[in-house]
Structures are given as structure tokens and as C-alpha cells.
Amino acid sequence: MSEAPRTFLDLVEGRLSASAHLALAWQGTFEEYLALVEDRPQVARNAWQRLLDMIESHGSVRADERGPRRWRIFDDPFDGGSDAVYGLDEPLSRLVQTIRAGARGLGPERRVILLHGPVGSAKSTIARILKRGLEEYSRTEEGALYTFAWEVDGEVVPSPMNQEPLLLVPREARAALEERLNKGLRRDYRIRIEGELDPVGRHYFRVLMDRYQGDWRKVVSHVRVRRLVLSEKDRVGIGTFQPKDEKNQDSTELTGDLNYRKIAQYGSDSDPRAFNFDGEFNVANRGLLEFVEVLKLDVAFLYDLLGATQEHAIKPRKFAQTSIDEVILGHTNEPEYKKLASNDLMEAFRDRTIKIDVPYNLRVRDEVEIYRRQFARRRVPGRTIAPHALEVASLWAVLTRLEDPTHPSLTLLQKARLYDGQEVPGFTPEQVADLRDLAPREGLAGISPRYVQDRVATCLAGDKPCVGVFDVLDEIERGLRHHSLVSNEETRKRYVQLVSVAREEYEEIIKREVQSAITADRDAIDRLCGKYLDNVKAFVTREKVVDRDGHLSDPDERLMRAIEEKIEIPESRKGDFRHELMNYVAACQAEGRTFDYRENARLVRALELKAFEDRRDTIQLTSVVSTVVDPDALEKIGLIRTRLMREFGYDEVSADEVLQHVAAVFARGEAKRPGAEAA
């Protein structure tokens, strides 16, 4: 057992690694760097290749053979998942495919990647994860990259744009060097030495070539290569540009500006040493540049952007075109993109962008993960969130983003269930793709996750120790009256109506849970299933049912239909269903397996509902809201409360609230027939 640190200094020092610092601070000659590159050509990758390798280094998983990959980088492995992106596997797969094509030099490397979607759809989060990933990757041995500085006449002059040292190789020798570097690499992975030295590098290269009368080897003896670590905070290899007031912003923020104090020192404003190469394009060289709300940029900025993407070059004031090597990632919302699409003057920009739609989540299970992540990190002392509160709020948010189904027998709620991977009678999982094709803009409108987060946060700031589902839904409905992004009264009414749909769905959920808690006797359910199967077998084989005492009787049609109706088997299909069930049981036996009804959620639910009907009158659940105290009934209700807490995660407060509500529904006689689905 290791000894605990004695002081705070010991505690800090124990978390640091001097060897790791030395590796990141490596310096060497240009000749040593060439040897390093020959041993590991990947260190000379361009920005697109490095970004792809970073993403792939985290791996991916595929939920099913037909679905897209989920790239683990977007699980946010850097901050414990606090910025994880949920439900966007398909658009993120398209993003990675675009980056892969750019890394292979197939064209996207000369385009702006444009993330397009509604507010709050995780566009900025995606950019933030990619930037953080590049920072961390550059600190690893696999992600190492290098730059250089000039040592001339006792002065050390770093490359202002942290350029790749191989750009010091004259153009005449590059092809031979590339051929040697690429020997043994994959055919789709080519190291290319592209671009020219920046103006400062060209200045010193020219001065030294003149000094040594063209002896290149002596020139590069003045070069000191060092390890480069990307960092957005230090403005090294990671840049972010955000539009501001046009009067206070000009293109020098992208391409750099003159240093007027140095003009007197060097005697000319066209001397590169008198120029600050600190614009966002310069800063982001070798890495990634994020344009926040890129379509809000002034036209003058867009001209610089077009050249940077197509030519991989920028035009600093007073200097020739300067090479850059970086991935340019922009994002924009729907209104701004519509302006772009309708503006003929922006055709050149549209032609140089690859748009990737980033919609809202359309699956409840993904949406709820956003809220769990949010509120798991910010627990409020003395406050809890009741089971299903976040799930029902997520259901409402998803419903606002869906288009009304065109299928006459499919409701909006059922559509949400299908998208969530749940079973809906009469529809198959394969039909989900067809439903999505009929609504290509689904997810580009609706309620942002931020709105739901704000409403839940408001509830948590209240006085109630447990925030229930009705608390959240009521707060959502109240907030719609003042929500700035819902200006259309018709849309507002639709969202309010969907709150009612979510409320009805929640009532069905808690009724099912209370019913399940009442019928928690597994042995009783097993016996009921065995009795049902005996009757179905007798019906299919046209035989009699034999009871324990050996008495023969006809199949109990009332029992069979009482169960089958609860899984919505119509009278006209009861024979087919029973034959299919017995065929499946026989197939299990033929394979040496035992038929387990628990593998079929619908059959389990039907058996539970039948058991509940058989026991409902003996439980007297309405005693919860009755003024007459029945000790026996209260004891049974206490047992139900315990089961709710043990099996469904309720605490005492939320379990009592659920029992009160369900009991009130039964007492009013407003409960639907047990098992009936919400419309």
C-alpha cells in the first residue's frame, strides 16, 4: 500500500511526469528530424490526415450492421463525457467520411466543412470536441508533429506559422523525398510536401542561401527543429473566429497585420519581420480553424475564406500568397443558411462548402442522455428528480421535432416510439427508414434541448424535495407563453397540445408500473402463462385441456382472448396467432431450448395485465385517497410502494405521489381499460 503524500507539494508533484515534459520539449537538428521522418513518415502528415488519425485513434462501434458507426471521440473521453454528443451517429459518420476523403486528397480538403442545423443541435460541441481531440493527440507519441526556428547571428526566430520543417526542402528534391517516405505506407495514405515557406521563412532562407552561395546543407544547419503541441488557449494550431460588430472588425484578424514599432527597426513595412502573423488563419496552421456562425461574416471575410480553402493560401497585407495547412470548419443555423441559398452573389461560397446537416435528436433514448448528463453533474442538495421526469420531457421535445405521419393508422406518438426502437403493432423496424425518407427535414425544427434544460433547472430551484413529471410538464407549458423562439401562435398551441400527449403517455407508464408492482408474484405469472399455453395447444391440436386432477375440458376461450386482446390480436387473427405461437414453441424444443415467455415484452405485459385484473378488487388501491383507514389495505399498499422503490427506482416521496395519482384516476373511474394504448 503506497504512502499518502505528506504535503500539498508532494500531492501535486506526484501527478506530474518530468519525462513526459522532456518528450514534448524535444529539440534537434534538421538532419535529426529527417532521420525521425524516415523512421516514422506519419509525423509529416498534413492537417486533414492528422485530424482523421486522431478520430480513428479513439475507435468506433456499430450498434447493428445496417446502422452507422458511432465514433467514440464524440463520447468526449477528455472530460468524462460532459460534452458527449448523443443521437447524431449518422451525421457524424458523414462528417468523418468527409474528413477521410480530404485526408486522401480527393477534394474535400479544398472545401469548408459547414455544420448546418437549428440552434442547440450540438454544432459547437462537435467543433469543441475535435479541437480538444487534436490538442490531446498532439501530446501523444502517435500524434507528434514538429516545427522549426532559425538560429541566425545569435538570434532565434521561430517560424511564425509553425510550419512543417520539410517545407525547407527545395521543390526540385521533393518528389524523390516523397517517394522514399511513402515506400511501405498504405496506398491511400500518401505523405505530400505541399506549400511554400511563409514570408519570414523565405526571408531567412534567401539571406542564408546568398551567404553560403547556394549551399543548402549549410543553410539548414541554422535550423532548429522542435516538438509542436497544439493548444487553443496558447493560439497554437487551433483557431476560433467569431463575427463581431462590422465597425470593429476587419480582415487583418484573419491574416495578420503590420507591427508598426518594428517598421522603424527594419526600415520597411514590406519586411516580413515587421509583420505580425497572428491572424486566425496563421494561428490555426497545422491544425483546425473554427468559424462560429460563419454565414454572418462580412463579404470581405468570405473572400479570404474562399482563397484559404481552394488555394490553401492566404494573402497577408503587403505580401504574396502564403501557404496554409489546416482544416476549416464552420457552422451556421437555419435562417442564415436560407439567406445564403437565396443569395446569387454567394454562389462561389456555396460551391466551396460541404454541408452536413446536424439535426435535433429524433430518438427519446438519445435525447434523455443529454439531460441526464446535464443534471448528473449538477446535483442540487436536498433535491431529486423523480423517475421518468427526464424521459417524458425528452418525449415532448422529440414530438415537437417530428412531422405528422402520412400513414393513416400511425399517430405522432407511435411514430416517436418507432424511431426509438419500440414495437408498434402493424409496423416493422424496416419501415422507419421509409418514414424518415418521407420527412427529410425532420429534426431541423422544433424545441431545442436548452429549453428543456432550463425548465428542469427552474423546477430544481423550487422548494419541492422531489421534482416530479407533472412539475416539469407544467413548467414546460408555462414557459411556452414567453419562449422567444416560438413566435407563431399556431406552433405554440401545437406544442401545448403535445404537452397533453406527453402527460397522457406518462399516466399510462405509471399505471403499468403500479399494475406490475401489484402483480409482482412471478410464480403466479408463470402459472398463468402455463395455463394459457395449455389452452392454446389444445385449441391448435383440437384436443381437450387436462387439469391437475385429470379432468378434461374444452379450451378456455375467454381466458385466451382476455390475454390476446391485451397485445391487440384481433378476433379474426386469433387462430393464426395461436398457430404461430405453438410453431415457435416447437422450434425452441427442436433446437434444445426452453420457450421463455419473458423474451417477449408484449406477452409479459399481457400476462401482467390479466393478473392485475384478477387481483385488482382485492388490492383496494383507492384506499390511498380514502379518508377511511383500512389497516389491511394500507399494509398491501405499503408492499406495493416498496416494490415501486425497489424495481423502478422511486424514492418514498415520488412513490407516494405516483400511488396518489394512479389511485385518484381509479377512484374517479377515468382510467382506461387496463392495457389500452394511448391514442
Same domain, 354 and 470: no
Residue 354 lies in a domain: yes
Same domain, 353 and 377: no
Q: What pLDDT, in 10s, does the model give residues 550-589?
A: 788 888 888 888 888 887 888 888 888 888 888 888 888 8
User: φ, ψ for residue 548 (rounded to 5)?
Assistant: -65, -30
Q: Rounded to whole angstroms, how far apart are CA atoms 110 and 96?
A: 16
Q: Rounded to whole angstroms, how far apart are CA atoms 662 and 655?
A: 11
Identify residue 247 by its one-letter amino acid code: K
Dihedral (CA of 340, 345, 349, 354) sign:
positive
Identify residue 135 by its one-letter amino acid code: E
Residue 649 lies in a domain: no
Same domain, 165 and 239: yes
Q: What pLDDT, in 10s, does the model give residues 291-310?
A: 998 888 777 777 788 889 98
pTM for the model stands at 0.83
Same domain, 305 and 401: no
Residue 18 lies in a domain: no
Q: Rounded to whole angstroms, how far apart are CA atoms 2 and 96?
A: 44
Q: What CATH number should be reported for the domain holding residue 108?
A: 3.40.50.300
In 336-473, where do the E strands start and end?
Answer: 353-357, 384-385, 466-467
Concatenating the DSSP letter of every residue in 55-98 gives: HHHT-EEESSSSSPEEEGGGG-TTTTTTT---S-HHHHHHHHHH
Q: Rounded to whole angstroms, how far apart are CA atoms 55 and 482?
A: 41
User: φ, ψ for residue 56 (rounded to 5)?
Assistant: -70, -25
Which residues are registered as beta bridge partners of 588? none
Q: Three-state SS string across 357-390, please?
A: ECCCCCCHHHHHHHHHHHHHCCCCCCCEECCCHH
Give the Cβ contact number of residue 490 at 10 Å: 7
Task: Answer for the pair 573, 552: CB distance below 8 angstroms, yes or no.
Answer: no
Copy the grid coordinates of residue 509. 407508464
Residue 625 lies in a domain: no
| pLDDT at residue number 377 | 58
For cell 405522432, what's the residue? Answer: 412
SS3 call for 289: strand
Give the residue among 47, 284, 225 at the shortest CA–CA distance from 143: 47
Q: What's the Cα-to-Cα distance from 276 to each of 240, 242, 260, 578, rounded to whole Å? A: 18, 20, 10, 81
Task: Answer for the pair 71, 58: CB distance below 8 angstroms, yes or no.
Answer: yes
Q: Rounded to whole angstroms, how far apart are CA atoms 420 and 440?
A: 17
Residues 6+ apart with CB under 8 A from 315: 255, 304, 307, 321, 322
Secondary element (H or E) of residue 313 = strand 313-314
Same domain, 316 and 428: no
Same domain, 564 and 508: no
Give the residue among 229, 225, 251 at the shortest CA–CA distance from 238: 229
Give the residue among 314, 322, 41 at the shortest CA–CA distance from 201: 322
Task: Answer for the pair 559, 539: CB distance below 8 angstroms, yes or no.
Answer: no
Residue 667 lies in a domain: no
Q: Domain boundary residue among 515, 533, 549?
A: 515
SS3 call for 563: helix
Identify residue 671 by its one-letter amino acid code: A
Identify residue 457 by its one-letter amino acid code: A
Concatenating the DSSP letter of every residue in 500-512 gives: HHHHHHHHHHHHH
Q: Rounded to whole angstroms, how far apart are CA atoms 83 and 128?
A: 9
Residues 6+ apart with CB under 8 A from 100: 52
SS3 call for 538: helix
322 sits in the region (left: phi over 0; alpha: psi -120 to 50; else beta) called beta
In 447-564, where do the E strands start and end?
Answer: 466-467, 545-546, 552-553
User: φ, ψ for residue 88 (rounded to 5)?
Assistant: -120, 30
Q: Which domain holds residue 402?
A: 364-515
Q: Domain boundary residue among 492, 515, 538?
A: 515
Q: Rounded to whole angstroms, how far apart are CA atoms 605 and 529?
A: 11
| pLDDT at residue number 20 | 77
Flag residues of the chain having pLDDT under 50.
623-628, 670-679
Same domain, 212 and 147: yes
Task: Answer for the pair 54, 133: CB distance below 8 angstroms, yes or no.
Answer: yes
Q: Rounded to whole angstroms, how far apart are CA atoms 271 and 263?
A: 8
User: φ, ψ for residue 191 (rounded to 5)?
Assistant: -85, 125
Q: Rounded to whole angstroms, how far apart are CA atoms 166 and 408?
A: 65
Same domain, 504 and 523: no
In a 13 Å sphere around the CA of 325, the CA atoms on its Cβ side amount to: 26
Q: Rounded to whole angstroms, how far apart are CA atoms 645 and 651?
A: 6
Which residues are registered as beta bridge partners of 60? 71
| pLDDT at residue number 32 | 97
| pLDDT at residue number 381 | 73
Give the residue among 159, 317, 291 at the shortest CA–CA distance from 228: 159
> Exposed, middle or buried: residue 56 (CB in 10 Å: 0-12, 13-18, 19+)?
middle
Q: Rounded to whole angstroms, how far apart are CA atoms 580 and 595?
A: 13
Secondary element (H or E) of residue 146 = strand 145-152
Same domain, 509 and 526: no
Q: Report the number of distinct structural domains present in the chain.
A: 3
Q: Rounded to whole angstroms, how far apart are CA atoms 307 and 326?
A: 13
Identify residue 6 by its one-letter amino acid code: R
Residue 660 lies in a domain: no
Task: Answer for the pair 391, 501: CB distance below 8 angstroms, yes or no.
Answer: no
Same domain, 479 and 528: no
Same domain, 499 and 394: yes
Residue 315 lies in a domain: yes
Give the Cβ contact number of residue 591 at 10 Å: 7
Give the residue among 288, 295, 353 at the shortest CA–CA distance from 47: 288
Same domain, 181 and 256: yes
Residue 267 lies in a domain: yes
| pLDDT at residue number 343 | 74
Give the residue among 306, 210, 219 at the shortest CA–CA distance from 254: 306
Q: Domain boundary residue among 358, 389, 407?
A: 358
| pLDDT at residue number 673 | 42
